[in-house]
Chains A and B, each alone.
Chain A
Amino acid sequence: MQMPPLDPAILERREEIVRALRAIVPGDGVIDDAESMRPYECDALSAYRQMPLVVVLPETVEQVSAILRYCQETGVKVVPRGAGTSLSGGSMPVGDAILLGLGKFNRILEVDYANRCARVQPGVTNLAISKAVEADGFYYAPDPSSQIACSIGGNVAENSGGVHCLKYGLTTNNLLGIEMVLMSGEVLRIGGKHLDTDDYDILGVMTGSEGLLGVVTEVTVRILRRPTTARAVLLGFPDEADAANCVAAVIGAGIIPAGMEMMDRDAIHCAEAFVKAGYPMDVDGLLIVELDGPQVEVDHLVDRVAAIAREHNASTVRTSSSEAERLLFWAGRKAAFPAVGQISPDYMCLDGSVPRRRLVEVLARMRELSKRHGLRVVNVFHAGDGNLHPLILFDANNPDELRRCEEFGADILRLCVEVGGVLTGEHGVGIEKRDLMGVQFEQIDLDQQMRVKCAFDPDHLLNPGKVFPRLRRCAELGRLTVLQGKIPFPDLPRF
Chain B
Amino acid sequence: MSEILEPREPRDVQHIVEWALGEGKRLRIEGRGSKRALHAASEPAQLVSLRRLAGVIEYQPEELVLTARAGTRIADIEALLAQRNQMLAFEPPDLGAILGGADNDGSLGGTIACNLAGPRRISAGAARDHFLGFQATNGRGERFKSGGKVVKNVTGYDLSKLLAGSRGTLAILDEVTIKVMPAPEATGTLLVPCAADAEAIALLCRAMGSAHDVSGAAYLPASVAARSLVDELRRPGSGMTALRVEGVTPSVQARLAALEQAFGGGRSKMLDTLESRRLWRELRDARPLWAGTPSAARELWRLSVPPAAGAEVVARLRAGTAAIEPIYDWSGGLIWLSMATDAGNGEAIRAAVSACGGHCTPIRASSERHTDTTGPIAKLSQRIRESFDPRGIFA
Chain A positions within 8 Å of B, measured between CB atoms, are 112-116, 137-138, 158-159, 161, 165-166, 169-170, 172-173, 182, 186-188, 190, 192-205, 207-209, 213, 225-228, 248-249, 251-252, 254-256, 293-294, 296-297, 300-301, 353-357, 382, 385-387, 420-429, 433, 437, 440-442, 444-449, 451-456, 467, 478, 480, 482-487, 489, 491-495
Contacts and interface: CB of A to CB of B under 8 A. Distances in A.
B387 A421 contact: no
Interface string B40-57: 000000000000100000
Interface in B108-162: 115, 117, 121-122, 125-126, 128-129, 138, 140, 142-146, 148-162
B209 A116 contact: yes
A218 to B, nearest CB: 14
Contact of B381 (A200, A293, A386, A445): A200
A254 B182 contact: yes
Given A356-B62, A448-B144, A489-B19, A188 B150 contact: no
Interface stretch (B5-13, B187-195, B266-274): B5-13
Given A115-B205, A182-B376, A449 B18 contact: no
Nearest to A209: B157
A158 B152 CA distance: 13
B18 A483 contact: yes
A485 B251 CA distance: 65
Interface in B202-231: 202, 205, 208-213
27 contacts: A161-B154, A166-B151, A170-B152, A192-B306, A195-B122, A195-B304, A196-B359, A198-B359, A198-B361, A198-B371, A200-B162, A200-B385, A202-B380, A204-B161, A205-B384, A225-B211, A255-B182, A297-B247, A422-B148, A429-B155, A446-B156, A451-B388, A453-B157, A454-B383, A467-B156, A487-B19, A494-B3
A169 to B, nearest CB: 7
A252 B84 CA distance: 8
B162 A205 contact: yes
Contacts of A491: 12
In the A-B complex, the 6 residue pairs with the smallest Cβ-Cβ separation, listed nearest first, are: A204-B161, A297-B251, A254-B182, A193-B306, A455-B383, A114-B308
Contacts of B23: 486
A382 B391 contact: no
Contacts of B210: 225
* Interface of chain B: mostly helix, strand, loop or mixed: mixed
Interface in B65-90: 65, 85-86
Contacts, number: 304
A200 to B, nearest CB: 5
B165 interface: yes
A452 B384 contact: yes
Given A198-B371, A200-B166, A297-B248, 20 more contacts: A159-B158, A195-B330, A196-B165, A196-B359, A205-B161, A208-B157, A209-B158, A213-B157, A256-B181, A355-B65, A385-B152, A387-B152, A422-B148, A440-B148, A441-B145, A449-B146, A454-B387, A486-B19, A487-B15, A492-B5
Interface residues of B, number: 105
B154 A425 contact: yes
A10 B164 CA distance: 40
Given A296-B250, A353-B152, A188 B22 contact: no
A483 B18 CA distance: 7
Contacts of A424: 153-155
A316 B358 CA distance: 52
B377 A199 contact: yes
Contacts of A113: 209
A250 to B, nearest CB: 9
B33 interface: no
A240 to B, nearest CB: 17
A159 B150 contact: no
A453 B115 CA distance: 23
A357 B209 contact: no
Given A201-B162, A228-B211, A455-B386, A445 B150 contact: no
Interface string B16-44: 10110111000000000000000000000
B342 interface: no
Contacts of B247: 293, 297
Nearest to A88: B154
B261 to A, nearest CB: 13
Contacts of B385: 200
Contacts of B208: 116
Contact of A294 (B156, B202, B212): B212
Residue of A386, A387, A492 contacting most chain B CB atoms (<10 Å) = A492
Contacts of B211: 137, 225-228, 294
A182 B3 CA distance: 43
Interface in B160-175: 160-162, 164-166, 170
A486 B12 CA distance: 14
B196 interface: no
Contacts of A483: 18, 21-22
Given A228-B211, A293-B251, A297-B250, A196 B153 contact: no
B368 to A, nearest CB: 12
Given A114-B205, A194-B305, A455-B384, A423 B155 contact: yes
A221 to B, nearest CB: 14
Contacts of B4: 494-495
B347 interface: no
B199 interface: no
Contacts of B213: 227, 293-294
Nearest to B89: A256
Interface in B341-388: 357-361, 369, 371, 376-378, 380-381, 383-388
B293 interface: no
B103 interface: no
B96 interface: no
Contact of A204 (B65, B128, B357): B128
B383 A173 contact: no
Contact of B152 (A165, A186, A199): A165
B340 interface: no
A204 B164 contact: yes
Contact of B154 (A203, A249, A428, A495): A428
A207 B161 contact: yes
A169 B129 contact: yes
Contacts of A354: 150
